[in-house]
Amino acid sequence: MKILHLSDPHIEPDILHGIDSQKRFHQALTHIKKNHFDTDLFVISGDITHFGSSEAYKVFKDILNQAELPKNLLPHIIIGNHDDRENFRNNFSDIKTDNNGFIQYSKSFDKKTFLFLDTNQPNTDSGHYNKVRQDWLISELEKNSKNEVYIFMHHNPLALGDEKSDKIGLIQKNDFQDILLKFREIIKHIFFGHQHITTSGQYLGITFSSPRSTWSPLVPNFSSKYRLGTANTDPNYNVILIKDNSLVVHSEDFLKTEVNWFETE
């Protein structure tokens, strides 16, 4: 199985901080269409827009439509802290929500279930996962207890460096940890975005990964002080290959222009 994980396109009608998010998202989609036509699942994990306006979602949809992606490359989308749930729902009325109106849904392929979570709370950059959303997650995990489960969420559920420096991760880390501990036998991987940095590792015995942003990649913060920084690094998206006994996460730095493949006999 091949999965594409793209995050944080931050689409806006205007250019933000000197980087054209529309152009970069378009370049990523062009690269995907050219190189990964055999993808089984394509996910965009939030911060679809920067300010959450309806106009920005329309621009995002226009770029998607212009890419003329085949059906298997139509993205599954969740929202991040920079999104607006109402404007998102008005523009993506076909995307499912849970019974409480949160953008949460599941998709199963044979024995694999993918859960898409909503960690947005208005007026904060931190992630929130309140009781009703937790209940939805628990019920999906119970329903799919015979499957391998993969979670997509915008916010990081654990601190990625020093705890003190993680001011914008998930607030309900302890509640979320309890759920992961209860179901860690079936949860095979957690995918998130949000911090705009490449990470991978394991948490409570569950592996995780995050791509950078297609708009503005940031640099990791290893100090105890909260800070974010930009550098002249490339944006990327991740390519995940899942086999019976393995899961491999590749980084596609899609702005690369010249690939010289070594000749083989």
Contact footprint for Fe ion (CB under 5 A): 8, 47, 80-81, 194
Nearest-approach distance from CB 54 to Fe ion, in angstroms = 19
Nearest-approach distance from CB 156 to Fe ion, in angstroms = 9
Nearest-approach distance from CB 221 to Fe ion, in angstroms = 15
Nearest-approach distance from CB 151 to Fe ion, in angstroms = 16
Instruction: Round to whole Å and give the CA distance between 82 and 73.
Output: 24
Query: Which residue of the chain is nearest Fe ion when measured via CB?
Result: 47
Nearest-approach distance from CB 76 to Fe ion, in angstroms = 17
Which residues touch 110 (CB under 8 Å, ≥6 apart)? none
Q: Is 176 helix (H, G, I), strand (E, B) or coil?
A: helix
Instruction: Tell me which residue of 1, 63, 77 sits closest to 33, measured CA to CA.
Output: 63
Q: Which is nearer to Fe ion, 81 or 210 (CB)?
A: 81
Instruction: Round to whole Å and give the CA distance between 192 and 190.
Output: 7
Which residues touch 258 (CB under 8 Å, ≥6 apart)? none
Q: Which is nearer to Fe ion, 11 or 187 (CB)?
A: 11
Q: Which is nearer to Fe ion, 39 or 81 (CB)?
A: 81
The identity of residue 116, as a single letter, is F
- 191, containing H or E segment: strand 187-191
Nearest-approach distance from CB 126 to Fe ion, in angstroms = 10
Q: Which is nearer to Fe ion, 128 or 188 (CB)?
A: 128
Q: Which is nearer to Fe ion, 8 or 166 (CB)?
A: 8
Instruction: Round to whole Å and give the CA distance between 117 and 97.
Output: 10
The identity of residue 45, as a single letter, is S
Q: What is the DSSP string of 216-233?
A: --EE---SSS---EE-SP
Separate counts of helices (H) and strands (E) for the chain: 5, 13
Nearest-approach distance from CB 99 to Fe ion, in angstroms = 25
Q: Which is nearer to Fe ion, 80 or 157 (CB)?
A: 80
Instruction: Round to whole Å and give the CA distance between 244 and 246.
Output: 6
Instruction: Tell me which residue of 185, 213, 183 sits closest to 199, measured CA to CA.
Output: 213
Instruction: Round to whole Å and give the CA distance between 215 and 213.
Output: 5
Q: Which is nearer to Fe ion, 47 or 166 (CB)?
A: 47
